[in-house]
Amino acid sequence: MNILIKSAIIVDPSSPFHQQKNDILIEKGIITKISKTIQNPNNYKEIKLENLHISQGWFDSSVCFGEPGLEERETIENGLNTAAKSGFTAVAVNPNTSPAADNKSTIEFIKHKSFGFATNLYPIGNFTKGGQSVDLAELYDMQNSGAIAFGDYNKSISNANLLKIGLQYVQNFDGLVLSFPQDNSIATEGLVNEEINSTKLGLKGIPSLAEELQIARDLFILEYTGGKLHIPTISTENAVKLIKNAKKKGLNVSCSVAAHHLVLTDDELKSFDANTKVLPPLRTLKDTKALIKGLKEGVIDMITSDHNPIDIEHKKVEYYNAKFGTIGLESLFSALNKKIDLDVFIASLTTNPKKRFKIKTETISEGNKADLTLFNPEFEYQFTENNILSTSKNAIFLNKKMNGKVYGIIANNQVVL
């Protein structure tokens, strides 16, 4: 693959070309030259796009596909193609498949199905067998087969002793444990955030307390055991405070926030649209502001789409019966662009999550592999079904006004635009 990119503004704080407009020559997948103007005597394919910006390739730390077993929601093939066109050169895929990804065979199957695509797939293995919080899964075997972390997607580890043992065990091979922040004995059968809107609408609430109790418990266990803990998709003001204090104490903890929790509140529930039914639930404006502040201050390490395709039979039903989840790969950039400083946004999708999940970063410099996301931060549009590339259409940002356009990626010696 030989390509000449023309007049691209480079957004990469780790690169000597940060915030400069340059041409970029890529030969056989390697950046061979970066300069103000590069001639094209070999007649390589040229990429010229309006207001082109380029960053390191984005990494999403929480994505769900369906395969194996739930292909009606999303296949690995279509999921990776969707990720590529949405700007992601790498995704970490959750283990909520059927059968569950709780053993080396399933991890190897998922890895094998992902070969040959522009976007790299990194499996997350179940922390417990079947995600049932009873017995530890085959953690060491799964890591040897390609799993980069262990967690039961959208399921809390109810057994505190199991988390303790797991955090101690994975230190033998530098494993990373994910613990979903919800105490189910508090959340019970809740559907949405417990606040004024849930009361007005007659929807059973999930209090912030359910999230914060679980996080507090997990941090106490981490302080006792040591090891590495990642808390995915936090959503409350006090959750930010708890993690901030834990980091001050030197605990090896990281956390992420879903894009929708940064810009949407539980005011969205008034439509009774099941696409707004997500876990954790949409919270209040106070929480949203605290999450954005936590991101800017570095308390929150990364942003995720928390992309979770749900087929129409389980989503386009009455609110109580609908499954939790929204797709988000296609909308992540344009939903957050202009809401968050671009440098903060890029860091939260590149260097920060890649370092935590031990994925190699490729700075935009001569001699490095071309692992690039191409985008235009000045493009307004309305997000409709025509913008959805996923098999499932359960998009929380459907019909919202958006700002910013992703052109695609250059990665693994391939171009997807």
Write down the residue that tokens 């067998």 correspond to.
129
Token output for 245: 């204090």
**The pLDDT of residue 77:** 98
Write out the chain's pLDDT in tens, 417 residues. Answer: 999 999 999 999 999 999 999 999 999 999 999 999 999 989 999 999 999 999 999 999 999 999 999 999 999 999 999 999 999 999 999 999 999 999 999 999 999 999 999 999 999 999 999 999 999 999 999 999 999 999 999 999 999 999 999 999 999 999 999 999 999 999 999 999 999 999 999 999 999 999 999 999 999 999 999 999 999 999 999 999 999 999 999 999 999 999 999 999 999 999 999 999 999 999 999 999 999 999 999 999 999 999 999 999 999 999 999 999 999 999 999 999 999 999 999 999 999 999 999 999 999 999 999 999 999 999 999 999 999 999 999 999 999 999 999 999 999 999 999
Residues assigned a catalytic role? 306
The CATH T-level fold of domain 57-356 is: TIM Barrel (3.20.20)
Q: How far apart are CA 243 and CA 248, in angstroms?
A: 9
Q: Where are the domains of the chain?
A: 2-53+366-416, 57-356
Rounded Cα distance between 186 and 174, Å, is 32
Bridge partners, 404 (sequence order)? none
Closest CA relative to residue 377, chosen from 333, 410, 416, 343: 333
Instruction: Name the fold adopted by 2-53+366-416.
Output: Urease, subunit C; domain 1 (2.30.40)
Residue 158 CB contacts under 8 Å (≥ 6 apart), including other chains? 133, 184
Amino acid at 137: A
Give the pLDDT of residue 168: 98
Run of H or E including 229: strand 228-231
Beta bridge partners of 192: 205
Question: Can you list the alpha helix ranges (DSSP code H) found in 170-207?
Answer: 184-187, 196-201
Sheet holding 88-93, edge to edge: 58-63, 88-93, 120-125, 149-150, 176-178, 228-231, 253-258, 302-304
Query: What confidence score (pLDDT) does residue 41 get?
Result: 87
Tell me how long the chain is.
417
Lookup result for tokens 């995720």: 304
Scored b (16 or more CB within 10 A) or e, 179-212 reads bbbbbbebbeebbbbbbebbeeeebebbbbebbb
